[in-house]
Structure 1
Amino acid sequence: MKHLDDLLLLGDPRLYERCAPVLESELPMVNSWVADLHAVMKEIRTKYQFGRGIAAPQLGIMKRLIYLNVDRPQVIINPELVTVSDETGELWDDCMSFPNLLVHVRRHRTLTLSYRDEHWQAHTWDVTDWGLSELIQHEYDHLNGVLCTMRAIDNQSFRWRPTPI
């Protein structure tokens, strides 16, 4: 089982690599990978009070796999952005791989995502909720070796996360 100490941190070269697709023959490994992602997300939530999604490469699993846990656990395998809206929004993004840093970024308001679930069933998801849309884009970027630091609006788009009281 992976733990918080296994989380790749900003500067680790693996965070900048494009991930390989999950093969159908690798499906038996997905449950173990998801268990690791869930365990580390739980530790992040306890220590830093945030965390709604995590991408497999953040644990050195160089596969196109995202684990979300917003209202319920959700496994997203081999996601592809089908469409993104022209309308964008700005936010202070956070990331488990640099938990004390916030980055001001611009993301699309809505999107359509195609993916497979943990049973290898194909899905298409029209994401109209801004909070989910920006989260999915953040995690999707991880699969392509892109960090939110690389999407900063300008060179003043960085700040430290306020310390919880």
Structure 2
Amino acid sequence: MKHLADLLLLGDPRLYETCEPVLESELSLVAGWVADLHNVMEEIRATYQFGRGIAAPQLGIMKRLIYLNVDRPQVIINPKLVAVSDETDELWDDCMSFPNLLVRVQRHCSLTITYRDEHWEPHTWNIEDWPISELIQHEYDHLNGVLCTMRAIDGQSFRWRPTPVVG
């Protein structure tokens, strides 16, 4: 079982690599990967008070796999971004791989992805909900070796977030 200490941090060269697709023959490995992603996300939530999604490469699993847990757990395998809106918005983005840094970025307000779930069933998801749309874009970027630091609006789009006091 992977833990918070296994999370790749800003500067680790693996975070800048493009991930390989999950193969159908690897489906038996997905449950273990998802358990690791879930465990680390729960540790981030307990430590830093944020975390809605995590991408496999953040744990050194160089596969196109995203785990979300917003209202319910959701596994997204081999997502493809097939459409994005012209309309965009800005936000202060955060990332588990640099939990005390916020980065001002611009993201599309809505999008459509295709993907497979943990049972290898295909899905098309039209996402009109801004918080989910920007989250998917953030995690999708991880699969392509892109961090939100690379999407900063300008050189003044960075700020520290103090670590919350827990307990």
TM-score normalised according to structure 2 size: 0.98
Name the CA distance, whole Å, in 2 between partners of 1:48 and 1:7.
14
Name the structure 1 match of 2:160.
160
Name the structure 2 match of 1:25.
25
Cα RMSD (Å):
0.6
Name the structure 2 match of 1:74.
74
Task: Give structure 1 stretches of 5+ with no counterpart.
Answer: none
Name the structure 2 match of 1:147.
147
Partner amino acid, structure 1, of 2:9? L
Matches within 5 A, 1:35-46: 35-46=35-46
Name the CA distance, whole Å, in 2 between partners of 1:156 and 1:58.
25
Name the CA distance, whole Å, in 1 between partners of 2:126 and 2:35.
26
Name the structure 1 match of 2:99.
99
Name the CA distance, whole Å, in 2 between partners of 1:163 and 1:55.
22
SS at match of 1:159: strand
Partner amino acid, structure 1, of 2:115? Y
Partner amino acid, structure 2, of 1:37? L
The alpha-carbon deviation at position 163 of structure 1 amounts to 4.0
Name the CA distance, whole Å, in 1 between partners of 2:71 and 2:163.
25
Question: Which of structure 1's runs of 4+ aligned residues deviate more than 6 A?
Answer: none
SS at match of 2:113: strand
Partner amino acid, structure 1, of 2:76? I
Identity among equivalent pairs (%): 82
Deviation readout 1:37-90 (Å, 9 max, x if unpaired) = 000000000000000000000000000000000000000000000100000000
Name the CA distance, whole Å, in 2 between partners of 1:30 and 1:64.
11
TM-score normalised according to structure 1 size: 0.99
Partner amino acid, structure 2, of 1:121? E
